[in-house]
Structure 1
Amino acid sequence: MRFTSVFFCLFSAMAPLGLIQLDRANGMDVVDVCEKNEDCQTMKITKNKLEEDAYNMDNYLNSTQSGQLAAKIKEAISAINGILDEYGIEKTAIAFNGGKDSTLLLHLLRICVTKKFGADTKISAFFIKCDDEFIELVHFVQKMASMYNLDLVELSGPMKHGLALYKEKQSHIVATMMGTRSTDPIGKYMKSNIQWTDGGWPKFLRVCPLFDWSYGEVWKGIRDLSISYCSLYDAGFSSLGECTKTTKNPALLIKGTENSYKPAYTLNDGKLERSNREQSDPKL
């Protein structure tokens, strides 16, 4: 069983100015201050969802469904909470590029922030875009920014340039949450899941709570927790990079077809995760 939530926003025909709430203690109806403000109403639904996500996570970790992944999630949450305790939400941001790893990390970070500071608290985030980004990925990032209550800054790449721009705009940010894993091109340069950027780079503390996770574990977490992910992963892409340098993974091609592919989460060999991409080797 997956933990999902359905939210209903009830509108009253007797309240044309906005949502009506019943103040049972005083026996009177109170017109909500949102008064037909769709953004405000959307925020209420978002807040409810974020609170439900936190509740569902507790249920998941206490269920048999989580299995061995529970320990990995608890370890990741502990790393996130440690950073939030040391630097606070004000000095913490997430590098969110819409990929599967950063999507799972965003979900875990949002749960930690909701529990510590409330669902109304925004999370600082940045998205460093390459010149030929998948349009589906860009739309997904923007959708998730709304769903997860992010203060998102979009920046032009490459990575080093984008980080310099972000440091200039948000000089108070110290710790950056990243979905980097040890098997990533960047990850192979890191000695631990928490360390400062290398000399010559904008100074940030890189925090990688999923550092020791495998490809399969990331997908189990996403699917078990019913986390939204970019639609490209259902179209044969197992890893996402620049549009002109990324193709569908041959290992996901359905036998007997020319252009039908299985979803990324069905890839059994995690070593083939990036076999659909021209490899870049950035050092961060």
Structure 2
Amino acid sequence: MTDFFDFFSRLEDLAGEVERRTSNPTLAAKVVHSLAVIDKAFDIYSEQGLAVSFNGGKDCTLLLHLALYAYLHRRKAKGETTAMAKHEGERSEGKEEEQRAGTEGDRAHYWMRILYFWFPTCFPEETQFVMDTTQSLRLGLIKSTKPYREGLQEIIETERPPIRAIFMGTRYTDPSCARLEEFSESTPGWPTFMRVNPILDWSYSEVWAFILAMGVPYCSLYDKGYTSIGEVNNTKPNPALLVEGCTYAPAYNLKEEELERAGRQSRSV
């Protein structure tokens, strides 16, 4: 498995590498734009004031790797060796409680905090992927088992340094997201923070093109025909990917992008 800290630290031009691997200049241009949005968020809120909403889905997986690349190259541009390099091999192996970003000292081992809302109806494969990614990308896991609004309120009120903005893997084609902007205030009635949406204009196929070309790990459910992952009680493999019997093609084989949520009964990730 690729060590993305090492790979991205040495890679001078992510967009150029994407174009080289995919022969897709449009995709490369979207990488450039998304990185610019991420970099702007770092400028406004600083690394310490940001977090990533991460539920194991394909979109936030893409986003997380773009954010990692942007972070590493900001450090490199400043003539710094990334603080994470000092902790090579020092990945947390303790209990889940110890993975959570806690004190200032703990955070020396993390470059970014991620927010994960866990419920009994979450797919076990999704939860395992979140935990694996927390370890491999050296993330500070903030796990909440409360309803979204209540859990987010608690996180916003108690996390130190305060979280002022959250990276979201939202795309325009997601439900109720057609009018979002790259920097959008949270919905009235919700905790106050800035939503940062760097991949709004990415298509389904572009998300998969990046993930596959760059060898980015993804949740195993996508290899079983799931194209949009919600909860176990409202998500099934996409019928458009049914090959024969109960066998489904992988998510990245879906050609009709408008059917991305055909296996879903409600909201998607």
TM score, norm. by length of structure 2? 0.81
Partner Cα separation in structure 2 for residue 46 and residue 217 of structure 1: 20
Kindly tell me the number of residue pairs found equivalent between the two proteins.
236
What pairs up with 1:1-284 in 2 under 5 angstroms? 5=2, 47-52=5-10, 54-55=11-12, 57=14, 59-61=16-18, 63=20, 65-117=23-75, 118=82, 120=84, 122-170=111-159, 172-188=162-178, 190-254=179-243, 257-280=244-267
Give deviations 1:240-276, integer Å, cap 9, x for gaps. Answer: 001111111100000xx21010000010111111111
Q: CA deviation at 1:221?
A: 1.0
Q: 1:61 to 1:273 in 2, by over 3 A?
A: closer
Q: CA deviation at 1:191?
A: 3.3
Partner Cα separation in structure 2 for residue 258 and residue 244 of structure 1: 21
8 Å CA contact 1:77–1:209 kept in 2: the answer is yes
Higher relative contact order (CA 8 A, sep 6+): 2
TM score, norm. by length of structure 1? 0.77
Q: 1:281 to 1:242 in 2, by over 3 A?
A: closer
8 Å CA contact 1:96–1:103 kept in 2: the answer is yes
More helix as a share of residues? 2
Partner Cα separation in structure 1 for residue 19 and residue 222 of structure 2: 29
Give deviations 1:85-121, integer Å, cap 9, x for gaps. Answer: 1111010110011100000000000111111232615
Q: Which moved more, 1:124-133 or 1:61-70?
A: 61-70
Q: 1:229 to 1:108 in 2, by over 3 A?
A: same
Q: Which amino acid aligns with 2:189?
A: G
Partner Cα separation in structure 1 for residue 16 and residue 268 of structure 2: 39
Q: CA deviation at 1:164?
A: 1.3
Q: CA deviation at 1:67?
A: 2.4
Partner Cα separation in structure 1 for residue 159 and residue 130 of structure 2: 20
Partner Cα separation in structure 1 for residue 17 and residue 24 of structure 2: 6
Q: Which amino acid aligns with 1:274?
A: R
Q: Which amino acid aligns with 2:263?
A: N
Greater CA radius of gyration, 1 or 2?
A: 1
Q: 1:73 to 1:50 in 2, by over 3 A?
A: closer
Identity of counterpart residues, as a percentage? Answer: 34
Q: 1:58 to 1:272 in 2, by over 3 A?
A: closer
Give deviations 1:167-186, integer Å, cap 9, x for gaps. Answer: 12326111100001111124
Q: CA deviation at 1:77?
A: 0.2
Question: Unmatched 5+ residue regions in structure 1?
Answer: 6-44
Runs of 4+ in 1 over 3 A off after TM superposition: none
8 Å CA contact 2:49–2:164 kept in 1: the answer is yes
Partner Cα separation in structure 1 for residue 27 and residue 45 of structure 2: 27
Q: Which amino acid aligns with 2:248?
A: Y
